[in-house]
Chain A
Amino acid sequence: MVDGSSEKRLVIRMLELWRRARRADRLPLAVALTASDAGGDAASLFQIDVLSPTGARFTHIGSGLHLPNWPVKPTPLVVECPEDSVLSLSSRHWREIVTRRVPVTRGGLSRHLGGLVLYRSIMMPLVDEDGRIASVMGASNWRAVEEMPPTPIE
């Protein structure tokens, strides 16, 4: 999906977007930052409503993160996301962002739809008028990594 070293560049762009939306040292308002603000990166973006009474759920999943036959409904729960995907890897630790109240980036080698990939992701906290973390905005990208056949043991 991405070329070479662009994994980190997406993270840097998202952080820059998030920092621009900050008000002095306060966290950005959820209503002030939407996927459309990300321009060309919107396809790599997802957003999670963490205050939903039925559990944290995606309110936006960029077209680049869609999986075959998923999502089947507009706002699926985060726990419903297929595990064998970069979206699941990137979003499943959303509680850490709520606890720490700062952006967190994660990445590494993992599996996406059966293939080995090198991915990098970021999640950033957004607050409501009361200062509560209301939403988490995330982004991720990845590239396929060639799998080496296992070395036979002599």
Chain B
Amino acid sequence: MMIRSYEIQRFSGGRWVLDSVSDDKDAAVTVAKALMESVRAPAGVRVMSCQRNDDGTFSEFTVYRASPIDEHNAEATSRRLKAEEEIRSFREQRESEKRADRQPRAPKQNRNRFKDVVLALELSVGIGITLAAVQMLRIALR
């Protein structure tokens, strides 16, 4: 018959030490959490599911783990996600502002370009007239 139990282990003195045993996963996790919240909380706690099979083989795997480092990492991840979200929303806002600014300016640019063309024409006409006048004056003075 397969026998399964849940071992609550605490990290103490640089190694995992058996703290208590439960026949129920939820009860084991509850005990592990309470251990981490206790006055003499260890550096870490984990719950291992231990199974002894009919053929005599033994297997175990972690079903719960908690340590101040894990909590710190979770907090850091949460902070990073929040910062990323803030940056994304700031970028989106800036992009939408840029788009809003670009739309009225577009015809203005066309108008400016048209003005430049008119100015160039005026200049070339002016230069042409001046050159014609100089040429006529030279002919008249001969």
Chain A residues near B (Cβ < 8 Å): 8, 11-12, 15-16, 19, 25, 100, 102-108, 120
**B 16-37 contacts with A by CB, 8 A:** 17-24, 26-28, 30-31, 34-35
Q: How far is the CA of A108 from the CA of B27 in the complex (A)?
A: 11
Total interface residues in chain B, CB < 8 Å = 18
Q: Which residues of A contact B18 (CB under 8 A)?
A: 100, 102
Q: How far is the CA of A12 from the CA of B22 in the complex (A)?
A: 12
Q: How far is the CB of A126 from chain B (nearest CB, A)?
A: 14
Would you call the interface of chain A mostly helix, strand, loop, or mixed?
A: mixed
The 8 Å CB contact of A16, one of B21, B23, B34, is B34
Residue of chain B at shortest CB distance from A100: B21
Can you name 6 A-B residue pairings with CB atoms under 8 Å? A11-B31, A12-B30, A100-B18, A102-B18, A105-B31, A106-B24
**Which B residue sits closest to A120, measured CB to CB?**
B27
Q: Are A107 and B24 closer than 8 Å at their CB atoms?
A: yes
With a 10 A CB-CB cut-off, give which of B18, B27, B38 has the most chain A CB atoms. B27
| B66-107 residues at the A interface, CB under 8 angstroms | none
Contact between B22 and A25, CB atoms less than 8 A apart: no
Q: Which residues of B contact A104 (CB under 8 A)?
A: 20-22
Contact of B23 among A12, A19, A25, A108 (CB under 8 A): A108
Interchain residue pairs A-B with the least CB separation, the first 5: A103-B20, A105-B22, A104-B21, A12-B34, A106-B23
User: B40 interface residue, CB < 8 Å from A?
Assistant: yes
Closest to A8 in B: B30
Q: Does B12 contact A (CB under 8 A)?
A: yes
Query: Which B residue's beta carbon lies closest to that of A93?
Result: B23
